[in-house]
Amino acid sequence: QLQLEESGPGLVKPSETLSLTCTVSGGSISSLTHYWGWIRQAPGTGLEWIGSIYYTGSTNYNSSLKSRVTISVDTSKNQFSLKLTSVTAADSAVYFCARRVDLGGSLKFFDNWGQGALVTVSS
């Protein structure tokens, strides 16, 4: 059974870099039909897609965050990671990692999610 688990600091200072890692177990991150993504949810609000990565390192980012976001993958550890630079209080959120299924064309969806990691930006 596939499981995803986020890890990383729960508190980040303003202007610093938020770093989170998602460890995938019960399946291979090198799957040919899956991408891996990050989605965040600010307190009491909806969901915002941050970006996705394929095991080859190919990435897609949300243009609203693109200048500050880097997503990377480590196939040897079955992990992928998120870095968000120059954070502000507006970046405080629960960050979810998720597996994205691609069935062809625009037929894509996030079918497995981690439990989420709360990150607070505060001095």
Partner 1 sequence: DIQMTQSPSSLSASVGDRVTVTCRASQTISSYLNWYQQRPGKAPNFLIYAASTLQTGVPSRFSGSGSGTDFTLTITSLQPEDFATYYCQQSYSIPWTFGQGTKVEI
**Binder of partner 1 out of 7, 42, 49, 85 (CB under 8 A):** 49
Q: How far is the CB of 36 from partner 1 (least distance, A)?
A: 14
- Interaction with partner 1 in 79-98: which residues (CB under 8 A)? 96
State the Cα–Cα distance between residues 55 and 121, nearest whole angstrom: 30
**Nearest to partner 1 of 16, 116 (CB atom):** 116
Q: What is the DSSP string of 24-47?
A: EESS-TT-TTEEEEEEEE-TTS-E
**Binder of partner 1 out of 1, 88, 106, 122 (CB under 8 A):** 106
CB atoms within 10 A of CB 12: 21
Q: What is the DSSP string of 47-66?
A: EEEEEEE-TTS-EEE-TTTT
**Binder of partner 1 out of 19, 21, 60, 85 (CB under 8 A):** 60
Report residue 1 as tokens.
Answer: 């059974």
State the Cα–Cα distance between residues 82 and 97, nearest whole angstrom: 9
> Per rule CB under 8 A, is residue 107 in the interface with partner 1?
yes
Sketch the per residue contact string, 7 through 46, with partner 1: x for CB under 8 A, - otherwise.
--------------------------------------xx
State the Cα–Cα distance between residues 13 and 57, nearest whole angstrom: 29
Q: Please report, as ranges, the residues that interact with partner 1 according to CB under 8 A.
A: 45-49, 60, 62-64, 96, 103, 106-116
